[in-house]
Amino acid sequence: MAIDKDVIVVGAGFAGLYSVHKLRNELGLDVQAFDAGGGPGGTWWWNRYPGARCDFESIHYQYSFSDEVQRDWEWTERFAGQPEILRYLEFVAEKYDLLRSFRFRTRVISVVWDDEGQFWTVSTDDGASTTARYVVSGAGSLSAAKHLEFTGLEDFRGQVLRTNEWPAEPVDLTGKRVGVIGTGSTGIQVIPEVAKVAAHLTVFQRTAQFASPLGNEPVEPEQRRWLADNHEQVRAGSRMNFLGAPYERPRPSALMDSPEERRKTYDEFYGKGGFRILASTYGDLLFNKASNDTIADYLRDRIRDRVDDPKTADLLCPTDHPYGTKRAPFETGYFEVYNRDNVELVDVSSSPIERLTETGLKTATGEYELDIVILATGFDVFTGPLMRLGIVGRDGLTLEERWADGPRGYTGLQMHGFPNLFVVAGPLSATALYNNALSIEDHVDWIHGAIRHVREQGATTIEPTVEAEQAWGELCSGLVDLTLLPQAASTWYMGDNIVGKPRVAYVFPGGAPLYRAITDQITDRGYGGFSIDGSAVPVPP
């Protein structure tokens, strides 16, 4: 039976677009790509809510593979908004003629391995099936919305808006009674925008967050010129940094400094904005609770400085998790929102949301009349986007069955039992704690190299050995246990923002430079830890 395509790519975000470029334009393969959205952009196509912006600097959160793109594209803001990032991805897609390989508004509903023919059959919601030797998932890590614990959405007579599926046409919130559920990175971006126009805004907060200033500002023309001329050096600096930007190096420990020196350091980096407060202050913040307490105390003090009402300030001060163990959000005027007369903060930690009613929202102890409810309730991170692809591997084993106790995979890029299936920015990779744009390039470059290698060998399949996968899982758990991540009550880094999801390591927290060194070494040593056409390549001593 003839196989339709060499490769099927899922997704048209940073990962899917770059995969099509590398595998079609560079490797010359026949590629078919699908995306459920109406155009390129991935995350940046779906998340159009007011205030949506990347909280990693745009000059770093971009592709590095093309000199031309880096020279020709000019960011206008230090942290670009969603429309600008979408335009950037459209610009790249056009420059590299990527869109002709995509079918948009087409959702992948199943991906099934045929062991006899050694190919995948990918079925889509338009009723079509396409076969291919390889499948690359660029379905993203934060793209499957979390299933809600409360009910009544269909009873509510007002409008329910989901931040991750925000309507393309403008939504008028002026003069409305709006409720926002969720105070993660998304809620913290959307809340100040809603507060400006709503008649009344009720924020339902379950967990207070250690938000710190984003520090957005325009990119000046001379900065743009400097960057265009120096992008190689900037990118090299990013790739050597734990978080993926050429930030100043931190001092080793917060406990080395006196309280006065620490305060000065935190003031300086609080003022500089974004991830610098984590990346450039002290190197042990995510490893040493006593050090972490110093920044947690500092951030709580700053919240109290900015919020007029002491009771509201108390509610906004996180107490149940160390700083950074839930993904740190960055804000623009967020805390001042609570000094406005039209904004009310409702604590739903002790009095959970029970349901939406016809006229609003009911918690265990109160009822709130609302015209619009905005859900900023987060994602089934890493595993959710893959599970909903309906993946069935060798011997009819589904991904759900294989991952019942948590994700497995060698380097996060491939899983045993799922030959020729590659995952970009998936669980157990370094993605979560690193500049996503660069980490996606690293992953796709590796996948490109692996497929090229298999083909050059005259072989057909590649998959990791069960032993390599097991060892990688143990490495990730061991490293996670060295961090403070397990001390958060609930965090998507550990999977437990979702009720019933296994609480295990979902990330490789060793940093992207180490991750890249490991994956490069795998390539250099002939793919030890993988089986090619069913024969395990020996791992050199």
Q: Which residues bind ligand NA7 (CB under 6 A)?
A: 142, 148-150, 181-187, 204, 206-207, 327, 348, 353, 376-379, 490, 492, 497
For ligand NA7, the nearest residue by Cβ is: 184
Q: How far is the CB of 32 from ligand NA7 (least distance, A)?
A: 29
Q: Are 144 and 380 in contact (CB under 8 A)?
A: yes
User: Cβ closer to ligand NA7: 274 or 393?
Assistant: 274
User: Cβ closer to ligand NA7: 410 or 493?
Assistant: 493
DSSP string, 395-445: GG-BHHHHTTTS---BTTTB-TTSTTEEESS-TTSSGGGS-HHHHHHHHHH
Q: How far is the CB of 378 from ligand NA7 (least distance, A)?
A: 3
- Separate counts of helices (H) and strands (E) for the chain: 15, 21
Rounded to a whole number, what is the largest CA-CA distance in the chain?
73
The span from the CA of 305 to the CA of 181, in Å, is: 25
User: Cβ closer to ligand NA7: 247 or 418?
Assistant: 247
User: Cβ closer to ligand NA7: 17 or 433?
Assistant: 433
Going from the C-alpha of 334 to that of each of 83, 206, 461, 516, the distances in angstroms are 21, 16, 51, 36
Q: How far is the CB of 447 from ligand NA7 (least distance, A)?
A: 23
User: Cβ closer to ligand NA7: 509 or 529?
Assistant: 509
Beta bridge partners of 414: 410
Give every CB contact of residue 349 below 8 A, 6+ residues apart in sequence: 205, 206, 207
The continuous run of DSSP H or E covering 300 comes out as helix 289-306
Q: How far is the CB of 312 from ligand NA7 (least distance, A)?
A: 17
User: Cβ closer to ligand NA7: 186 or 265?
Assistant: 186
CB atoms within 10 A of CB 171: 15
Q: Are 111 and 135 in contact (CB under 8 A)?
A: yes
User: Cβ closer to ligand NA7: 76 or 351?
Assistant: 351
Q: Are 52 and 81 in contact (CB under 8 A)?
A: yes
User: Cβ closer to ligand NA7: 82 or 420?
Assistant: 82
Burial 364-377 (b: 16+ CB within 10 A, else e): eeeebebbbbbbbb
Q: How far is the CB of 184 from ligand NA7 (least distance, A)?
A: 2
The span from the CA of 399 to the CA of 273, in Å, is: 40
User: Cβ closer to ligand NA7: 31 or 313?
Assistant: 313
User: Cβ closer to ligand NA7: 147 or 249?
Assistant: 147
The span from the CA of 246 to the CA of 60, in Å, is: 9
For residue 282 the two structure tokens come to 């002290």
Q: Are 130 and 103 in contact (CB under 8 A)?
A: no
Q: How far is the CB of 3 from ligand NA7 (least distance, A)?
A: 37
User: Cβ closer to ligand NA7: 119 or 379?
Assistant: 379
Q: How far is the CB of 183 from ligand NA7 (least distance, A)?
A: 4
Q: Return the ∠ at Cα 447 (arms to 23 and 411), rounded to 5°.
A: 165
Q: Are 140 and 336 in contact (CB under 8 A)?
A: no
Going from the C-alpha of 415 to that of each of 143, 203, 434, the distances in angstroms are 20, 41, 22
* Bridge-based pairing state of the strands 159-162 and 212-213: unpaired
